[in-house]
Structure 1
């Protein structure tokens, strides 16, 4: 890579540039931002800002013994994600880092395994299936709004909206994909949240050979939590199997879990891919996590942005009133909510759930003018691309949904909150439908303003989260009130 003009900071033996990255991030996130400022790349990716100034748009740094090339050139990114999707994927280090968290589910699978898993789960997110989920989404949101209205009636005004969004999206994914209420899955969500935080910490130690075998506090705690999550999942799975075995049901159901169990019962095909219980549990963990975490964060950041931009809140509310005519939003309404769609896109641009998109080359690749050797990881800093002044203009760090009013931006190259190419997020339509329904219902019932107690401090724990949550003040709207 050096011969091709791609250089980077000098790595240390075994640990590479890990200490440099950790030190820079520790300094940049040691303080809260003085105000609500969306210029968050220097805070969350300080190493990228520093090294891109020194080495340019492409540079190499080392995560332990794994070399990573940071790539911000959108034409090359498009080529990698579309043209080379079958010969690139998740690296061993990434898979190890998430081994006890989401295992080898769709998010971490590669090659033929990924292809077969995607083929099995995709029907759960097809248009007709999505339509059937809308009722659950409306029902769950109504329950949450009624709970909030009761709280407001007692005199409460401030709400940590992130907690409510996490609970609501967890309830929805439980009911739509696993046919169980949030109460039943509550323990799983709690354990997965703790696992997520521990795995984010433990992944920093993976670069030391053999460290994953050490009986450290991290490793013991992670393995214990993983076993507990899988025990709870097995209870849900076993209850489905029992219903079929005793003849109470003729199939395992047509939700995601049912599809997986039905597939497992089929004879193994000639492709050699076998869907076993471990893969099913890994798939469940992946969708339990991805199905509620990313949407909850999208909703939380969007509410923060609307609470601190009242004029846009009024525009969205007026549109919702006009389109839905005071009723609950339906699937047919969603395509007409263009202002809300613009606001959601701008929220995803400023605060994409995943800050980076990693791909490892499994074969030698020709990428533009570069020869990428097998084994090189390419890291696409989605957050930095979404905040690039060169791409988005001088107001790049301002909340301006109008930039999505036209089709002039290129979704495949510049805007990639759900990745791009064949390996894009399978639940993308589900997440957007859910976000629109929840926001439309919430904004037609409450006016929200940012609380004085809100401290703006985005941090990365695998995803971009508000360090202290998002506190907003809710005021119920009178009948017919639009602003």
Structure 2
């Protein structure tokens, strides 16, 4: 028995010892041996650590560089691959480093690279793909070797040969047309070009290679993107092969699920093609033919078809989209090259779509694309694996050594490309790639080199040329100030935060004179309009009449207000100086001559008797001209005096009046007031997120008000342009303003952009009309109506929570989710439709909101002159028209239902109430169609913006303060259990009410309440002149320690335990999330009900915590919202 036990124990020890020896051999002995082999050949490198190699150092260096704010520079090598940049300087162009226990030789010498990639001795093969890359690409052309690779390469070459590419051009053009059709809604606005190109290239690869569309393959693209993100997260993690295959982490499990779903989706597409009459001649069709080939040597399996499809779905989209993104970035910066490319496009194609002959002759475009590929290659490295006995130059490589070619290092090497290697200079490719590289093919490797060069390189460049050509035919573009330069390697080199550009339509030139020659002439005529008043050889009136037809073209060109003002000032000055000169030439000099002529004629006895008559008529005409000119001068002088009064005298006088009453503020500056300081302070505070999760957001969202309140006191005067604005934060004065018992504080006059957003609806109107609309809104949102809305609210929340089930244990961004939810609720309850029906309306309202945010606190000169409009004005007018049409279609649909008998009445919802009022028999209660449209716009916007903001900040606070989350959950279960919320119990949710009130205090939806002084009025001890604006700051009041105590900046819902009145010490002006007085938000109870229902149902199903990826950056666009969303981690109960 003892001997048996000894043998058994010895066997177990032996079984444990063999794997241990094997493990130590791999992770300790082999690295030491390989290091010794390379050191003996003068190849050095950083010393590896046990198990981890150099991965920890690599991750730290990368993290250090990624945390820095990058300047807009093309020198990205040291940022993206800091370890290679540093170790190249220390150890030379060829060195050894260790990703984990695997040796990797970095080679930067062109001759060695050429030998490696051509591989004439067949000493190298593809390096082993990691487990995530295998799931993305399978065993397709990018990861296979030998006979299998040869077979797949021949099939791919056939799919992308010259004739096949020619047949793909119409599909590419059609796809680009679809994208540019979407861009029409964003003319004069900012777009994220990288996201647009991602969708475009997905559409093109779907059409040309798989005979489908992006929508059909949408799930495949999205799942592949998720796999790419997982690959990036785990790229520098060291995992033990056997252990990691048995004990999988959550990333591995998620990747396995995604891989299976991708396989099923691709297989479904393959089976669908198999049922068709013929397989087709595209990429998928050729692979299916090979699957059914009679020759066994040429036949491929279904799994190989799936792997090939995954490869080209991923690589076919990514490579071209990043190429287009970086090229657009470079052209947006270097507008001179953008113009050169545009001239070439118009020269070759005019306004027609690109054709194959013209594409092959595009020299400038090819130069630009090559330079873009040099600075920003799709992949930043190439890897190979050494076979047994492999040699590279004079080096002998141990078996299975990886060889790493850093493409960025080569493309940015001043020894290969000159001192301007980091500068965008397409001119270097003017004589072709060979001349640019001095016949050194290994110096330019965007698509690799040798037999394994990218099979889709021609496809990618063709797609890029077509896309860029069609964009340049229609738009000019400049880089948006919101662009953040952050290249990142996630399988391909891509912009981490997108590429934001401002697009402007240039179609107007081509519409006037379409052909190339005429187009250039029209440009010359337009330029002449700007300088016509400087040409003294031609008559002034003749010049103006000649250039006047092109005035619209000029207004389209002048998109920036500053340029507009400069141009107008120059034009008026030149016109006035010329008028003076022409008055002297055409009126005063002839008049003197006409007076002199009769005097001289009287000395002659022989003169024609009618001569005096002609002279007298000339004098009369000149006298009339003199009167007209005098009137013109008087009018001009009056205009100047009025301008002087508005921008000089009135502000100085107002400052004097207010200072006499001890109201101070920042000094008024000519024309701009304090707007430049406001914009500067806001830009500085918004340039980076808040360091800590603090609820002290007043200094961030309104830094100017915060600074001036501390400097000048609770009430102070600021200047928005030449308009005075009294900022009031004293509760007693606020009560007097918002109560407005004498009607002395009406709503401010909305500017053109706000009018387009809200019209003349409930929020903006005054007097009898406001009273009429307020009664309608009160009727639509009274208690009984709200009770009837509860089922629709519950159904909408159910749909959202059902979708969240697939995010169990994962991160989800709730702001966007709540925006869709609240849009669905207001659509159902107020308009009897759904979010999808009103989707366009919500999107257009958000676009108008963006315009208001963009133009906030900017001085708009000549804003009342309709002929001098900015690009934002033009774009907003188009959006307003489309918005009106969309609302009218919903209104007409409801009316049509009643007319044809589908419905008995217009309904009891908000829209039904409006239509009943429109058709009312009593004229006093009747409203117009314009009133209906304006009310719909108001409630579509307010019904989702305010509530989505309130829900988001509430969830944010509960995710941080899990103790209050538990209290709220216990209360929900106490009242509802696992049942749906009931209307009778919603009002009894005491803890929930406290939490919502505290959220509204810390993160009030509205950051300003603005009124106007309608006439001279007494406010407290102050006497306010008419036409002054008053600005009330809820954020300053809600965080005031004098009102709320020392813990004013802390989340403490218990302060509302005895109600709002007790919490504010019966000071109603201390709490203003929804206004006060007769103009309090009419949808207050609707919002409270919706928030309580959504939170209750969410708490019944999930626990949630704040994601570590959350970045605290509140900012204001119409309402207070999180700039970068609120990601939370959901855990099901």
Please give the TM-score of this superposition, normalised by the length of structure 2: 0.41
Q: Alpha-carbon deviation of 1:334?
A: 1.4
Aligned match of 1:161: 814
Q: Deviations over 1:251-287 (max 9, x none)?
A: 22211111111111125635xx862212211110110
Poorly superposed stretches of 4+, deviation over 6 Å: none
Query: Aligned partners of 2:1054, 2:847: CA distance in 1, in Å?
Result: 38
CA shift, 1:203, in A, is 4.2
Secondary structure in structure 2 of the residue aligned to 1:184: coil
Alignment of 1:347-358 (within 5 A): 347-358=999-1010
The offset of 1:146, in angstroms, is 0.8
1:57 Cα shift? 1.1
Structure 1 residue 184 corresponds to structure 2 residue 837: yes
Corresponding residue for residue 233 of structure 1 = 887
Shift of 1:186: 1.2
- Deviation at residue 200 of structure 1 after TM alignment: 2.0
CA distance in 1, matches of 2:735, 2:1053: 24
Measured against aligned partners, the alpha-carbon deviations of 1:60-98 in whole angstroms (never above 9, x if no partner) come to: 111123211000100111121114373323212x35341
Deviating more after overlay: 371-380 vs 178-187: 371-380
1:481 equivalent in structure 2: none
Verify the 8 A CA contact 1:458 1:465 in the aligned structure 2.
yes
The match for 1:370 is 1022
Aligned to 1:299: 951
Match of 1:5 in 2: 662
Within a 5 Å distance, the mapping from 1:36-435 to structure 2 comes to 36-84=693-741, 86-92=743-749, 94-152=750-808, 157-205=810-858, 207-210=860-863, 213=866, 214-267=868-921, 269=923, 275-407=927-1059, 408=1062, 409=1064, 410=1066, 412-435=1068-1091
Classify the secondary structure of the residue corresponding to 2:923. Answer: coil
Question: Following the alignment from structure 2 to structure 1, what is the Cα–Cα distance between the partners of residues 838 and 863?
Answer: 34
Consecutive unaligned residues of structure 2, counting only runs of 5 or more, are: 1-657
| Whole-angstrom distance in 1 between the partners of 2:1008 and 2:665 | 18
Higher RCO (CA < 8 A, seq sep 6+): 1
After superposition, what is the alpha-carbon deviation per residue over 1:167-201, rounded to whole angstroms, capped at 9, x for unaligned?
Answer: 11110000000000111111111111121111222
Q: Does the C-alpha gap of structure 1 residues 29 and 85 become closer, same or farther in structure 2, counting only changes over 3 Å?
A: farther
Q: Which deviates more, 397-406 or 260-269?
A: 260-269
Question: Matches of 1:206 and 1:428 in 2, distance apart?
Answer: 34
Deviates more, 1:320-329 or 1:360-369: 360-369
Distance in 2 between residues matched to 1:84 and 1:342, nearest whole Å: 31
| In structure 2, distance between residues paired with 1:375 and 1:113 | 22
Residue 1131 of structure 2 aligns with which residue?
A: 475
Q: What residue number does 1:480 align with?
A: none
Cα drift, residue 212 of structure 1: 6.7
For 2:660, what is the secondary structure of its paired residue?
A: helix
Deviation per residue, 1:124-153 (Å, 9 max, x gap): 11001111011111111111111111343x
Partners of 2:1022 and 2:771 in 1: CA distance: 27
Counterpart-to-counterpart distance in 1, 2:999 and 2:1125? 16
1:85 and 1:199 map into 2 onto residues whose CA distance is: 31
Cα distance, 1:109 vs structure 2 = 1.2
- Conservation of the 8 A alpha-carbon contact between 1:14 and 1:207: no
| Greater shift in the superposed pair: 401-410 or 336-345 | 401-410
CA deviation vs aligned residue, 1:368-420 (integer Å, no higher than 9, x gap):
21222221111100011001111111111111111111241236210110000
Matched residue SS, 1:474: strand
Give CA-to-partner distance per residue, 1:13-37, whole Å, 9 cap, x none: 2321111111111111111111211
1:353 deviates by 0.5
Give the Cα–Cα distance (whole angstroms) in 1 for the partners of residues 1030 and 753 of structure 2: 17
Q: 2 CA distance for matches of 1:240 and 1:384? A: 44
- Output the CA distance in 1 between the equivalents of 2:798 and 2:1067: 33
**Alpha-carbon separation, structure 2, partners of 1:380 and 1:140:** 35
Whole-Å separation in 2 of the counterparts to 1:204 and 1:39: 23
How big is each residue's C-alpha offset from its partner over 1:415-474, in whole Å with a ceiling of 9 and x where there is no partner?
Answer: 110000010000000000110010011011100100011100001112111010100000
Taking a change above 3 Å as real, the CA distance of residues 102 and 411 of structure 1, as seen in their structure-2 partners, is farther
Counterpart Cα distance in 2 of 1:420 and 1:329? 29
Cα distance in 1 for partners of 2:1016, 2:757 equals: 30
CA contact 2:674–2:719 (8 Å) conserved in 1: yes
Cα pair 1:86 1:111 within 8 Å, conserved = no
CA distance in 1, matches of 2:1108, 2:806: 23
- 3-state SS of 2:1077 partner: coil
Report deviation, 1:333: 1.2
Find 1:16's aligned residue among 673, 687, 690.
673
Shift of 1:112: 2.4
Question: CA 1:111 to 1:361, structure 2 compared with 1: closer, same or farther past 3 Å?
Answer: farther
Inter-CA distance 233–221: structure 2 relative to 1 (3 Å threshold): same
Deviations 1:319-350 (A, max 9, x none): 11111122111111112211111100110000
CA distance in structure 1 between the partners assigned to 2:1132 and 2:799 by the alignment: 16
When structure 1 is superposed on structure 2, of 339-348 and 190-199 the one drifting more is 190-199
Q: Confirm or deny: 8 A CA contact 2:753 2:876 kept in the other structure.
A: no
Instruction: Please say if residues 453 and 471 of structure 1, whose CA atoms lie closer than 8 Å, have aligned partners that are also in contact.
Output: yes
TM-score (norm 1): 0.94
* Contact 2:1105/2:1128 (8 A) holds in 1: yes
- Quick check: 2:981–2:1093 contact (8 Å CA) kept in 1? yes
Cα deviation code 1:183-237 (max 9, x no counterpart): 1111111111121111222343454342673332211111111111111111101
Q: C-alpha distance in 1, partners of 2:950/2:814?
A: 12
Cα distance in 1 for partners of 2:829, 2:1067 equals 28
Contact kept in structure 1, 2:675 and 2:859, CA below 8 Å: no
Aligned length: 471
Distance 2:743 2:1083 in 1: 20
Deviates most, 358-367 or 230-239 = 358-367
Tell me which protein shows more helix as a share of its residues: 2
CA distance in 1, matches of 2:855, 2:702: 19
Secondary structure (helix, strand or coil) at the match of 1:288 reads helix
Q: Please give the secondary structure, in 2, of the residue aligned with 1:257.
A: helix
C-alpha separation between the residues in 2 aligned to 1:288 and 1:19? Answer: 33
For residues 450 and 443 of structure 1, the distance between their equivalents in structure 2, rounded to whole angstroms, comes to 15
